[in-house]
Amino acid sequence: MNVKEIENIYFNFRKAQSEFNNRGFRLPKDFESYFNSKFREPNKKALIKITGRFLTKWQDIDPYIYFKCGFDLYKNKFTYTKFFKEEILRLYIQRDKNRKREIEITKKGLVDSAIFVKKWCKDNYSCLYDYMRIRNENKLVVIDHYLKNKIDASFFVFLLRKGMILTDNDRSLIPYIHTNYRRINFGLNDLSMFLRKLEEKLI
């Protein structure tokens, strides 16, 4: 284990802390000096120990998400000495299961939407990029399909990521997506490879 690896775990802890408190944070310019001179011994040992754990037994655990679980459980009382509380790992595992379940549901919605869109494009002699622009009575065909449950919200956001442009009137027709865009978009970040393959089949 080297200092850079310890610094990386410290960064993830401070990032989770910063997000919980909704304020920024600064990293020390010389972490090694800061770590050796400013850290209390119990905190230093805890940070070294958990760094070792993330590098070995917990290789599949995201340190940032793990620390977020800690702050959700213990609020601002979550400190170095609470790093190994069993409740944190249990919450992480439960959330990871939920996230994976949501990913599978999202994948199914994306696939079902893509099958519909591919058929529609074929029937209407259009490509995906035309599909994102075509309007019927001044309303995007995409919005009409979304409102009729032909495509789901994740696929709609996928099209926005591909460059689909909305007017203010368009946005007024899709309040759910407008309100939940950031959450849906964040969820799609876990599916970059899947989305790439999906797009290849649509083009």
Q: What six digits make up the tokens of 31? A: 């972490």
Residue of 23, 103, 18, 26 lying closest to 68 (CA atoms)? 18
What confidence score (pLDDT) does residue 190 get? Answer: 83
Q: What six digits make up the tokens of 149? A: 């449950």
Residue of 92, 112, 94 lying closest to 104 (CA atoms)? 112
For CA atoms 93, 96, 100, 101, give the dihedral sign: positive
Based on its alpha-carbon atoms, the radius of gyration of the chain, rounded to whole angstroms, reads 23
| H or E stretch at 140 | strand 139-140
What confidence score (pLDDT) does residue 35 get? Answer: 95
What confidence score (pLDDT) does residue 7 get? Answer: 96
Residue 142 dihedral angles phi and psi, to the nearest 5°: -55, -45
Q: Are 199 and 162 in contact (CB under 8 A)?
A: yes
What confidence score (pLDDT) does residue 202 get? Answer: 86
What confidence score (pLDDT) does residue 52 get? Answer: 96
* 61: DSSP letter: S
Domain positions in the chain: 3-84, 99-202
The reported pTM is 0.70
What confidence score (pLDDT) does residue 105 get? Answer: 87
What confidence score (pLDDT) does residue 201 get? Answer: 85
Query: What is the C-alpha to C-alpha distance for residues 92 and 67, in angstroms, rounded to an integer?
Result: 9
Neighbouring CB atoms inside 10 A of 75's CB total 10
Q: Which residues of the chain have a pLDDT value below 70?
A: none
